[in-house]
Chain A
Amino acid sequence: MTITWFQAAMLGIMSMLAASTIACLGTTVGNYTLNRPLIASLFVGLIMGDVKGCIQIAIPMQVIYIALVTPGGTVAADLRAVSYIGIPLAYVTAKSQGLDLGGAEAAGIAGAMGALVGTVGTVQFYGTAVMNLIWQHIGWAELDKGNFKILTAVETWMPIISHLVISFIPVMLINRFGSQAVYTFREALPMDSWYMKALFTVGSMLPAVGMGILLNSVVTKPTDLIYFIFGFTIARSMGLTLIAATCVAAVFALINFQMKMNALEAKKGGAVAVDDEEEDI
C-alpha cells in the first residue's frame, strides 16, 4: 500500500489549512481544530479511504500531543507534520506490516512516527514565520503611503504563498515518497531486536512527556502536585473515568472558589467596619 500523488496533494492542502499557529484557517478553526491529530485523522481517513483505521492510529498520537502550548510564539513540535505526515505514514506502515491498527504495536509505530516527523513541523513553523516577514514589510511600506487595502492582502492571500512553499510542497513529497520506503521496514526491523524494543518502549514513554507539558501549564507551586497525584489515584486506583474524575475535581474547584470569595468578603467587611468606627469618632 502506498500514497498516490493525488492523496499526497490532498494531505498537503490539509496541512496548509491546519498549519499550527499560522494556519490558513486561523487559530480556532485551523490550529485548535484541524491541527489536532484526533480531528486530523478523520480527514486523513477520508483521503486514504479508511476513516476507522486512521482514527485508531491517531488516538495514541493525540494522547502524546494533548496539550501543545506555544508560549511566546515558540513551539515544541508543530502538529501539522504529526497530523498530516505522521498519521498517513504510520497508517501505511502499520497496514503494510499487517498489524492490528488498534493494537499496541501500531500505537508504538504511531508514537515513534509522530516524534520523528514532529521536527519537520518545527522547521516549517519557523520557515513560515520568516517568510511572512516579506509580506509584513510590503505591508509597512504600503501603509506609509496610506494604502489601507494592503492590510487585507497581508492578512489573507499573501501568507498562503508561504504555506504553498513551506507546507504544501514538503508535505506532499514526504507523503508520496515516504510511503514507498515503509515497505522495506519489516525485513529490516525484527520485533525482537533491541532497537525495535527500544522504539516501542519510547513509544510508551512519549505520552508522559505530553502530560509533563500539560502539568507545566497548570502547576505553579510544588504543593499543586498533590492535586495531580489525587487525580492520578482516583483514576488508576479507584477506576474513575475521565468524565467522572472531572465531576470530582469540579467539587474541589467549587470549594476552593467559595473559600477564596469568603476570604475576600471577610477582608472587605473588616475594612468597612473600620471605616464605620472612624466615622463614629
Chain B
Amino acid sequence: MAEKKVTKATLNKSFWRWFYGNLTCFTQEHMQTFGYMWSMLPIIQELYSDKAEQQEKLRTYSPFFNTEPQIGSIVVGITAGLEEARANGAGDIDDEMINGIRAGLMGPLAGIGDSLIVGTYIPILLGIALGFSNGGSVAGILFYIIVWNATSIWFQRTIYMKGYELGGNAVEVIVGDRATALRESAVLLGQVIVGAMSASWVNITTSLRFGEVSLQNNLDGAFPGVVTMLFVLLCWYLMSKKKMSAVKVMGLMLLIAIVGVLIGVFDPGLSYE
C-alpha cells in the first residue's frame, strides 16, 4: 500500500477554510468547533475513501474548541499532520491523543494570541496608523489594511504549514523554553508601548485652583501627566485586581466625571463657536 499524503492544494483549502470560517458560526455552546470540522473535512476526505470511515474520523474533531483563532491555525495544521500519520497506520495516534493535544494547546495559545497579537501587535500597528491619519488622511488606514492583512495572513499560513510538518512534535516548539523567553520579551515591549500610548493619547486634567495656584501646573511640574497616568493605573487596577468589567469601569468614570464637575475639579472649558 502506497503511503498516503495530503496534497498541497488540500492543505491550502483546509487553511483558507479555517482562516475564513474559524468564527463565522460562533456560538457560546461550541464556539469554533464547526469551523474546525469544516477545515478538517477536505483532509479527511482525501485520506479516507470509505464514507463511514470519513464520518468516524470527522467525529474526532467534534468536541468543543476555542482559542485565539489566528494563532490557533497552528493547531489545525498539527492535527492535519497527525491525521495523515494515523491514516498511514501510526498505531499510537488515536482520538484521545488528538483531542489531548487540541485541549492542551488551546488554553496557552489563547493567552499568547490575546497578549501578543490582539494586545501588542494590533495596537502598535493602529498606533502608527493613527499617527499617519492625524488630521484626516487616509494614509494610516491604507497602511493598516495592507500591513496587518499581509503579515497576519503570512503568519497564519506559515504556522499552519509548520504545524502540519511537525505534527505532534510542534507541542514542544510552542510551550518550550525558547518560545517562552521570546514571548516574555515581546510582552515587555508591549508594556513599554502601552505606557507611551497612554502618554500620547490620554489627557486628563484638573481645573482645581487654590487662589492663584493651579494644581495641574504644580503636578505637571513634579511629574508631567501624572493625573493621566494615575487614571490609567486606576482603570487597570479595577479591571485586573477588582475583576470589574470594562463597562462598569466606564460607568464609574462617568460618575467621577459628574461628581468632579459639580464640585469643580473638572471643567473642559469648551464652547460651541
Chain A partners chain B? yes
Task: Give min CB distance, A29 to chain B, whole Å.
Answer: 7
- Among the interface residues A27, A194, A224, which one has the most CB atoms of the partner chain B within 10 A? A27
Residues of chain A lying within 8 A (CB to CB) of residue B23:
21-23, 26-27, 31
Enumerate A101-136 residues with CB–CB distance to B below 8 Å: 101-102, 104-105, 108, 115, 118-119, 122, 128-130, 132-133, 135-136
B90 CB–A CB distance under 8 Å: no
A-B contact count (CB 8 A): 378
Task: Give min CB distance, B126 to chain A, whole Å.
Answer: 6
Instruction: Give the CA-CA distance A225 to B234 in the complex, in Å.
Output: 12
With A155-B21, A261-B181: A205-B204 Cβ-Cβ less than 8 Å: yes
Task: Give min CB distance, A217 to chain B, whole Å.
Answer: 3
- Among the interface residues A25, A28, A136, which one has the most CB atoms of the partner chain B within 10 A? A28
Of B123, B145, B250, the contact of A209 (CB 8 Å cutoff): B250
Task: Give min CB distance, A198 to chain B, whole Å.
Answer: 4
B133/A55 in contact, CB under 8 A: yes
Which 9 pairs of residues, A with B, have the shortest CB-CB distance? A231-B195, A212-B235, A217-B119, A52-B136, A260-B181, A249-B192, A245-B196, A76-B246, A235-B199
With A29-B149, A229-B229, A245-B192: A204-B27 Cβ-Cβ less than 8 Å: no
Of B21, B128, B135, B180, the contact of A56 (CB 8 Å cutoff): B135
A201/B261 in contact, CB under 8 A: yes
B1 CB–A CB distance under 8 Å: no
User: Which of A3-11, A65-73, A81-89, A169-177 is near enough to bind chain B?
Assistant: A65-73
Task: Give min CB distance, A195 to chain B, whole Å.
Answer: 8
Task: Give min CB distance, B7 to chain A, whole Å.
Answer: 19
Task: Give min CB distance, B201 to chain A, whole Å.
Answer: 4
B204/A155 in contact, CB under 8 A: no
Task: Give min CB distance, B143 to chain A, whole Å.
Answer: 10
Enumerate B7-40 residues with CB–CB distance to A below 8 Å: 17, 19-31, 34-35, 37-38
User: Which of B96-104, B167-175, B251-259 is near enough to bind chain A?
Assistant: B251-259
Residues of chain B lying within 8 A (CB to CB) of residue A132:
25-27
B29/A119 in contact, CB under 8 A: no
Binding site for B on A (CB under 8 A): 21-29, 31-33, 36, 38-39, 41-42, 51-53, 55-56, 59, 62-63, 66-73, 76-77, 97-99, 101-102, 104-105, 108, 115, 118-119, 122, 128-130, 132-133, 135-136, 139, 143, 146, 148, 151-152, 154-156, 158-159, 186, 191-192, 194-195, 197-202, 204-209, 211-220, 224-225, 227-237, 240-243, 245-246, 248-250, 252-254, 256-257, 260-261, 264
A227/B192 in contact, CB under 8 A: yes
B223-242 vs A, CB cutoff 8 Å, 1 = contact: the mask equals: 11100110111111011100
B196/A22 in contact, CB under 8 A: no
What does DSSP make chain B's interface, helix, strand, loop or mixed?
helix
Task: Give min CB distance, B254 to chain A, whole Å.
Answer: 5
Residues of chain B lying within 8 A (CB to CB) of residue A71:
110, 114
A143/B119 in contact, CB under 8 A: no
With A97-B272, A205-B257: A135-B25 Cβ-Cβ less than 8 Å: yes
B196/A234 in contact, CB under 8 A: yes
Interface residues on B, range: 35 or more
B232/A194 in contact, CB under 8 A: no
Residues of chain A lying within 8 A (CB to CB) of residue B196:
231-232, 234-235, 240, 242, 245-246, 249
Instruction: Give the CA-CA distance A236 to B141 in the complex, in Å.
Output: 25
Residues of chain A lying within 8 A (CB to CB) of residue B37:
143, 151
A26/B181 in contact, CB under 8 A: no
New A-B contacts (18) at CB < 8 Å, excluding given A26-B22, A130-B28, A215-B233: A22-B23, A22-B24, A23-B24, A26-B20, A39-B144, A69-B119, A98-B273, A136-B30, A152-B38, A154-B34, A204-B268, A208-B198, A208-B235, A215-B240, A217-B119, A234-B196, A235-B200, A257-B181
With A152-B38, A186-B272, A249-B193: A217-B114 Cβ-Cβ less than 8 Å: yes
Of A29, A146, A231, the contact of B194 (CB 8 Å cutoff): A231
A211/B268 in contact, CB under 8 A: no
With A67-B123, A71-B110, A232-B225: A218-B194 Cβ-Cβ less than 8 Å: yes
Instruction: Give the CA-CA distance A196 to B137 in the complex, in Å.
Output: 29
24 example contacts (A-B, Cβ-Cβ < 8 A) are as follows A28-B19, A32-B70, A55-B138, A66-B201, A139-B25, A143-B58, A151-B37, A151-B41, A155-B24, A159-B24, A191-B270, A198-B258, A204-B203, A204-B204, A212-B249, A217-B114, A218-B120, A231-B193, A231-B194, A232-B195, A245-B193, A249-B189, A254-B185, A264-B181
B60 CB–A CB distance under 8 Å: no
Task: Give min CB distance, B236 to chain A, whole Å.
Answer: 4
